[in-house]
Structure 1
């Protein structure tokens, strides 16, 4: 059978199996085993266990559970509430400062926790009622938190970037650095739209909450700065050549646990058990998907599907930006239905040879891919963040939350366009810190 036709069959059955409700990892294994048996014989299954476990034999994978523990220990405390309150106290005199505070808190908390739903829950529980009380439109209040929560998969340290680096054998350090300026760009675009939206609605005159003394502004900082210090310390150790990403992640996880215990009195063994239990569940889920995706990639390569697709696209007489536009549409649609980790692990091995052949930087492409995944988090039909916000504020309809999030989707699309016009936004910092590779 022609490899391209076979590839279409694989795509159809993969979508069918995943939409049947089977977990992503198990679905990939079922599809892989089925096609290997039919087209390569039963003997091909002998290699599956070796590939499955071999994919996990990677030292860099240790950083995933460590960064997840960092996020879980932060999410289990009042760090999100304190971060929100600190920014609110310092920005209270800024017109529309509360929405800026919420977006800033989302950016910082999502970078510390790496979890989009946790960010929406932690910041939204305080931020949404407060914004509504002071006259912000419901759509702005809900949409800004839903969009702000997506920033964690781009701003370092990002588990999504680690997964991309492992799937494509790309430097994780470079990927972290590549997400810094695009992350700040998105924060700036989100804040600009929020301020414009509140000004246009005529509510800017009711947004100030009074004033805080300098003592009140400084007294909350000791509860927030240690966590930010850990993040900066992790990044410094990584880029200063002091330790590997896995080593810095382990130290960061230990420090976050200690700070949670010391500052937030997280002494109860039951609370610590919940942190470790939830971290283990999430880590195992991600690692299982990585292992299953390795088997899926082997199946695609063994049946010459990956090579045929890359060769076919290479023969197309189209502009490379038309090709990139088609890839973005594909990623956008995939992100509507699947979690970012699953999309990256399934698509990256296929897309990497295509984009490199077309002359695109894989580090730059990682940022574009991640922003596409962010769009999926606040877009139906899945749109995980939309449902998290609806759970926090059930009196705000899902339609209103979606309406409030759509302008932020537009901001993300603008960011992708800017990255296409000025790729240095993503590649300049990695090249300066770690040296140019081109």
Structure 2
């Protein structure tokens, strides 16, 4: 069978299986084993366990459960509420300061947890009622938290970036550096829109007049959040300063987060520690299963000459490279509407990377573009995980209202992609300056 026709058959079959509701990892295993048996014969089956576990036999993979443990510890404590309260007290006199507080807390908390849903849940539980109480419309209250939660997959340390690095065999340290400046830029864009939106709708005065905090109240909360901020700074220093590998840094960061939660928030009860370890194991196993299954899926595509044929077909297209990038962005955007970021990255990145490199694009810059596309998918239907998290926190706010509030932030992300296309150095300058060129 023609490889391109076979590629279409694989694509249709994968779409149908994943839309059936079966878990992503299991679905990829079913598709991979099925096509290998049909086209390569049962003689190839003994190789499959070795390929699956070989994909997980990497020291870099250890960073994933460690960063997830780090995030689970933070998510299980009152760190999110304290981050929100601290920023609210310090920014209460700024027009739109309450919305900015929520976005700032989302950015910091996401850097600690690396999880968009956890960020939405932790910050939203306090932020949404507070904004509604002070007169902000539901669109602003819900939309800002839903969008702020997406920052967790771009701002380092990011589990999504680790997965991209593993699937494409690129440097995780460089990926973290590449995502730092765009993550801060996107956070600034979100805050700028919030200030403008608050001023335009006439809520700035309400925010300014509603609450006032003394200097004592502003300073008394800082000791509870400073340890976590120090851990973030230490993790980033260890990563970018060449002190330790991402896996080593993740392990030490998880340990210190756990110790901080025990000391600051008195989380030494066995039940609470068990819940943290249980949640970490559950999420880690899910992601590792997807990684192993995606490795088998990539092997199937390569053994059937599908990957090579698609890359050759795309490279033979007589189109401008930016037109090609536009089509790739549309593909990623649509994929993100229906599939979680981990699945999209593991299935598409190994195929797209050779095409991206041959077209003259930087693979680390592309990782940032891909991640922002995945961020958009988190706040757009039909999947839109963050939308449902917010709806679970505030069930009286309709999904349509949450989506309406999130749409301006989607526009900010699209503008950010355009800016990064015009000025790619925003993503590439820092890793090139600190580590040097190359993969």
| Same fold, judged at TM 0.5 (above) | yes
Task: Report the counterpart of residue 371 of structure 1 in structure 2.
Answer: 372
How far 1:5 sits from its partner (Å)? 0.4
Task: Report the counterpart of residue 436 of structure 1 in structure 2.
Answer: 437
CA distance in 1: counterparts of 2:271 and 2:133, whole angstroms: 35
CA distance in 2: counterparts of 1:238 and 1:185, whole angstroms: 21
Superposed CA offset, 1:44-82 (max 9, x none) = 112101101101110000000000000000000100000
How far 1:437 sits from its partner (Å)? 2.5
Contact 2:267 2:273 in 1 (8 A): yes
3-state SS, counterpart of residue 164 of structure 2? helix
Q: Which runs of 5+ in 2 are unaligned?
A: none
Task: Report the counterpart of residue 90 of structure 1 in structure 2.
Answer: 90
Residues 1:353 and 2:351 are matched in the alignment: no
Superposition pairs for residues 134-283 of structure 1, below 5 Å? 134-208=134-208, 209-283=210-284
Task: Report the counterpart of residue 73 of structure 2 in structure 1.
Answer: 73
Contact 1:88 1:98 in 2 (8 A): yes
Task: Report the counterpart of residue 122 of structure 1 in structure 2.
Answer: 122
Contact 1:226 1:259 in 2 (8 A): yes
CA distance in 1: counterparts of 2:395 and 2:47, whole angstroms: 49
CA distance in 1: counterparts of 2:59 and 2:204, whole angstroms: 51
Task: Report the counterpart of residue 45 of structure 1 in structure 2.
Answer: 45
CA distance in 2: counterparts of 1:204 and 1:88, whole angstroms: 14
4+ long deviations beyond 3 Å: none
CA distance in 1: counterparts of 2:123 and 2:73, whole angstroms: 16
Structure 1 length-normalised TM = 0.99
Task: Report the counterpart of residue 16 of structure 1 in structure 2.
Answer: 16
CA distance in 2: counterparts of 1:406 and 1:242, whole angstroms: 41
Contact 1:111 1:158 in 2 (8 A): yes
Contact 1:137 1:198 in 2 (8 A): no
3-state SS, counterpart of residue 331 of structure 1? helix
How far 1:211 sits from its partner (Å)? 2.5
How far 1:242 sits from its partner (Å)? 1.5
3-state SS, counterpart of residue 179 of structure 1? helix
Superposition pairs for residues 284-299 of structure 1, below 5 Å? 284-299=285-300
CA distance in 2: counterparts of 1:117 and 1:314, whole angstroms: 38
Which shows bigger deviation, 323-332 or 205-214? Answer: 205-214
Superposed CA offset, 1:273-310 (max 9, x none) = 00001000100110110000000000000000000000
Task: Report the counterpart of residue 35 of structure 2 in structure 1.
Answer: 35
Cα RMSD, aligned residues only: 0.8
How far 1:264 sits from its partner (Å)? 0.1
Q: How many residue pairs are counted as aligned between the two chains?
A: 438
CA distance in 2: counterparts of 1:213 and 1:206, whole angstroms: 19
Residues 1:302 and 2:303 are matched in the alignment: yes
Contact 1:99 1:144 in 2 (8 A): yes
CA distance in 2: counterparts of 1:45 and 1:12, whole angstroms: 23
CA distance in 1: counterparts of 2:168 and 2:356, whole angstroms: 12
Structure 2 length-normalised TM = 0.99
CA distance in 2: counterparts of 1:388 and 1:237, whole angstroms: 33
CA distance in 1: counterparts of 2:357 and 2:409, whole angstroms: 30
Residues 1:58 and 2:89 are matched in the alignment: no
How far 1:175 sits from its partner (Å)? 0.3
Contact 2:51 2:296 in 1 (8 A): yes
CA distance in 2: counterparts of 1:210 and 1:307, whole angstroms: 61
Contact 1:134 1:206 in 2 (8 A): yes
CA distance in 1: counterparts of 2:43 and 2:74, whole angstroms: 47
Superposed CA offset, 1:316-343 (max 9, x none) = 0000000000000000011011110010
Contact 2:238 2:249 in 1 (8 A): yes
Superposed CA offset, 1:343-400 (max 9, x none) = 0000001000010010000000000000000000000001000011111111111111
Contact 2:81 2:126 in 1 (8 A): yes
Q: Which runs of 5+ in 1 are unaligned?
A: none
How far 1:224 sits from its partner (Å)? 0.3
Superposed CA offset, 1:1-36 (max 9, x none) = 110000000000000011111111111111111111
Superposed CA offset, 1:374-431 (max 9, x none) = 0000000010000111111111111110100011100000000000000001001101
